Amino acid sequence: MSTKKKVLIVTRRELRKNKLINWVSEIYLQILAQGGVMPILVPISQGTIANLPDYLEDYDGLLMSEGGDISPAYYNESYSVSKLDEYDPIKDEIEIACCRHAMEHNKPILGFCRGMHMINVAFGGSLHLDVHEVNKRSVVHIDYDHYDTHRHPITIFENTPLMEWYKQKDLLVNTYHHQGVKKLAPELVAMAQAPDGLIEGIYHPKHKFVVGLQFHPERMYQEHPGNKLVFKSFIDSL
């Protein structure tokens, strides 16, 4: 009988050669495996919804990665889904069910980019549908021409897990998103912000481990020891 901890990761899906495929960035799987954790991929399909109780019966934590836009219906905004990027209502349904289950059972949750948005929405917050419409591109949060090299500064707040991990007030981070936190959920606490005021990190002070980051520490894993500490802290909490 395996004693390894199990972490759920809901996949992404897209069309490839006219067929829907499910996938997850390998870096998450590699980091979890190196930490002695077994990643359990939760596929996006109608059949998964019926089988979701089986996935939620035996797991130790939830990792929510990047992806498309969350339906505004989950935070009571009126907006045409045709304008959303990578809109996937089945992924929304599966992922928010997993997030709420983990919240209710005090399971560790780590979310990046869309994952952070999902944490905020699941706890009752809302999102900017397009941050560049709000900030007039005063801070560029996604640069398709310099996708992996683009950085912007953030300010990390004192007395937060993020400060414990990075041990510095100012940090340059990667950025790949066009949506962001609008109204922070009441139970959550901001850990960092960009120069335009956009929240770049959140956590729940009373849960075992609930952390959301707007940036991607796994994509700059070797650039700062704090990036590794994010994952180590999540794995240690399982």
| Residue 87, amino acid | Y
Catalytic residue among 66, 95, 200, 218: 218
Is 91 exposed, middle or buried (CB count within 10 Å of its CB: 0-12, 13-18, 19+)? buried
Helix (H, G, I), strand (E, B) or coil at 158: coil
Contact 69/179 with Cβ under 8 angstroms?
yes
Instruction: Classify strands 199-203 and 19-23 as parallel, antiparallel or unpaired.
Output: unpaired
Beta partners for 65?
none
Catalytic residue among 101, 152, 204, 216: 216
Catalytic residue among 99, 101, 113, 141: 113
CA distance 34 to 187: 32
Phi, psi of 127 (to 5 degrees): -125, 150
Q: Is 133 designated active site?
A: no
Q: Is 99 designated active site?
A: no
Q: Is 95 designated active site?
A: no
Active site residues: 113, 216, 218
